[in-house]
Structure 1
Amino acid sequence: MEKKTALAALAALGQDTRLEVFRLLVRAGPDGVPAGEIATRLGTIQNTTSAHLKVLDHAGLIHAERDGRIVRYVADMAGFCDLLAYLMEDCCNGNPELCRPVIRAVTCNC
């Protein structure tokens, strides 16, 4: 991952509503959540939510999937893993055992 891409992803997650959207989509897993339902669940205005979804999409953290007339948003776990790998790339100054607790905390049996 390039530094510019990492900065875009971090900036996208650095806003309260976008962070909540991303966490909602991570919890939803590969089925994702329809765009309108995201706004309803978070109690946000639909057009504002749409703008936040666009920012997250451009940052490579989510993507849209068309299901007939419904647009579902899904967390892009590959993009998220790339961000985590970028952040941890020089981790622990050559002492990988120091990173194991972090790695265990962010991995799951998805």
Structure 2
Amino acid sequence: MQNKSQLLKGVLEGCILKIVKHKGETYGYEVVTEIRNFGFGKCTEGTIYPLLTRLEKRKSLKSEKKESPFGPQRKYYSLTQQGEEELSEFENTWIEFKYFVDGILKNYKGV
């Protein structure tokens, strides 16, 4: 599948928004860890950090640098109102697409 990378980035953006909403406030490496824990084991920091930056530039996330007990300051992300709206749209679209794709895959099973 040629556009697997683009599809994955779009899905990961929605997943990142959901993780940040659930956590309330979180830093990049924690997002990477959560993504991996849910089965995206091959996702690296090099995949997730650019998506965090893109979401921040789009104003879906806001960030704040805070002291860390384990070294240098960390950049903590939280959801903006725009991010809430984007997440809601992602969730609705995902449910709809999943329903359609599942229907096709089940209907043409074994073909």
Give the TM-score normalised by the residue count of structure 2.
Answer: 0.54
Q: Is the 8 A contact 2:62 2:77 kept in 1?
A: yes
Separation of aligned partners in 1, 2:85 and 2:15: 20
Give 1:56 deviation, angstroms: 0.6
**Which aligned runs of 4 or more in structure 1 are off by greater than 6 angstroms?**
none
Equivalent runs, 1:1-110 vs 2, <5 Å: 15-29=10-24, 32-43=25-36, 44-68=43-67, 69-77=73-81, 79-80=82-83
Quote the RMSD (CA, aligned, Å). 2.3
Unaligned runs of 5+ in 1: 1-13, 88-110
1 or 2, which has the higher strand percentage?
Answer: 2
Separation of aligned partners in 2, 1:52 and 1:34: 13
Percent same amino acid at aligned positions?
13
- Matched residues, number: 69
1 or 2, which has the higher helix percentage?
Answer: 1
Amino acid at match of 1:40: T
Give the TM-score normalised by the residue count of structure 1.
Answer: 0.55
Give 1:70 deviation, angstroms: 1.2
Distance 1:67 1:53, change over 3 A: same
Distance 1:51 1:20, change over 3 A: same
* 1:5 counterpart residue number: none
Q: Which has the larger radius of gyration?
A: 2
Three-state SS of the structure 2 residue aligned to 1:65 is strand
